[in-house]
Amino acid sequence: ALAGLVACNPGLRLLQGHRVVLRADLEAIRGRVALLSGGGSGHEPAHAGETLTATAADQLPPAQLRSPRPSPQDTSERAFGTLLIVKNYTGDRLNFGLALERARAEGADVQMVVVGDDSAFTALKKAGRRGLCGTILIHKVHIFPRRAGTLGLSLSPCSVPGSKPTFRLADDEMELGLGEDLPPPCPQPMPWQGLSGPRGSHSAPYPAGASVVLVVNNLGGLSCLELGIVAGAAVRHLESRGIYIARALVGSFMTALEMAGVSLTLMLVDEELVKLIAVAWPNLAAAPATSRRQEVPAPKEGPGTAQHETSTGPGAARGQLGPERGERVCSTLLDMQDKLNELDRAAGDGDCGHTHARAARAIQEWVRARPRPPPAAPAQLLSSLADLLLEKMGGSSGVV
């Protein structure tokens, strides 16, 4: 998907060896603050599709519905200053947080803003509000997202490729208040009267006379016809309450694969914020897509990685990862893939088995491709495996 995005957009480049999209004109804008954002794939066009429109320097989308590993962020945090725009999910915060600490340890000026625009809950949990489609507005205006609120609604689940649907809904039920990473559903009867009435339980908490930007976001499976119906109903409802819609954005901005649903986002704005949101969105680069370089080389790794793999240390002899032992662990994870997915569907997005199978295959390939046996000392072995899983596994599990 990233290769297709870059192939069709002359203003974008891929960072060689990484799933990172960069602006093609980084050298021309060097000296400005760099913006980094990202998240799991399956939410396209978020986040890579916003690299130019959001003036972000880098966007990082790895495997479906999983959080990005921190190594690509490390390669990009070499600007005048860097702002990480992170959705409030455990995996996102862990991965970007690790990248932030690594960059700061090297002297980089890096700050992080965590977006939590979910309006589905009246009582906040310890983790706070989840980051949803309001994140795309933060990409544009680069402010702390206190002004934005988002509510999602779905009539069907989505399916991670190769897996069963993440949850099930009856014909007369819908999921109200779902998050980007698909937590367990809270199915409810269709509240048509509540949605169309003047004071539904999820009505926008904005007073009459307020000026807002409205985002009507297709979660992936709605037709343009259905999206237009929802957009029209949202505009009529807001105008009936005396709320001024300064801008209305309708389309697919942050999706969930093929989910038939929609999210509505409102952000309070003034004249200055409206100007920032209105500029060049959507827009196409005035340049041909053919006959151009689509990748840029990644910065070279330092010498530390090769050194720590070849050194010896206490416990080297008894810490050896024997081929049979390692293969048994990997084979067990591969055999448990469907079972882990089934368990995860009851508590998450149903891809825990895929994530651990990806880790097992990465370890098998790493062992086979090495010209010499894995490091003997436990500390060196675990350090090498940690680097490997950060790169190949992704998600909360990869960073943990």
Long-range contacts of 359-365 (CB under 8 A, 24+ apart): 359/333, 359/389, 359/392, 359/393, 359/397, 359/398, 360/329, 360/330, 360/331, 360/333, 360/334, 361/330, 361/334, 362/388, 362/389, 362/391, 362/392, 362/393, 363/326, 363/329, 363/330, 363/388, 364/327, 364/330
Read off the pLDDT of residues 11-42 as tens digits, 9 standing for 90 and up: 888 888 788 888 888 777 777 788 888 887 78
Q: Please name the residue that has the structure tokens 């010498």.
A: 303
Question: Which residue from 69, 109, 141, 93 is spatially nearest to 390, judged by alpha carbons?
Answer: 69
Model-level pTM greater than 0.85?
no
Domain boundaries along the sequence of the chain: 1-115, 129-280, 313-399
Read off the pLDDT of residues 121-130 as tens digits, 9 standing for 90 and up: 666 677 778 8
| Lowest-pLDDT range of 126-130, 223-227, 334-338 | 126-130
Read off the pLDDT of residues 287-321 as tens digits, 9 standing for 90 and up: 555 455 667 777 665 544 444 555 455 554 454 55
Structure confidence at residue 197 as a pLDDT band (50, 70, 90)? very low
70 or 22, higher pLDDT: 22
Encoding tokens for residue 77?
């945090």
Percent of the chain predicted with pLDDT > 70: 71
* SS percent in the chain: helix, strand, coil, step 5: 35, 20, 45
Read off the pLDDT of residues 373-399 as tens digits, 9 standing for 90 and up: 777 778 888 888 888 888 888 777 877
Q: How confident is the model at residue 221, as a pLDDT?
A: 87
**pLDDT over threshold 50, residue 182:** yes
Over residues 200-219, the mean pLDDT reads 77
CATH T-level topology, domain 313-399: 1.25.40
Degrees, nearest 5: CA angle 150-81-282: 45
Give domain 129-280's CATH superfamily.
Dihydroxyacetone kinase; domain 2 (3.30.1180.20)
Domain formed by 1-115, architecture: 3-Layer(aba) Sandwich (3.40)
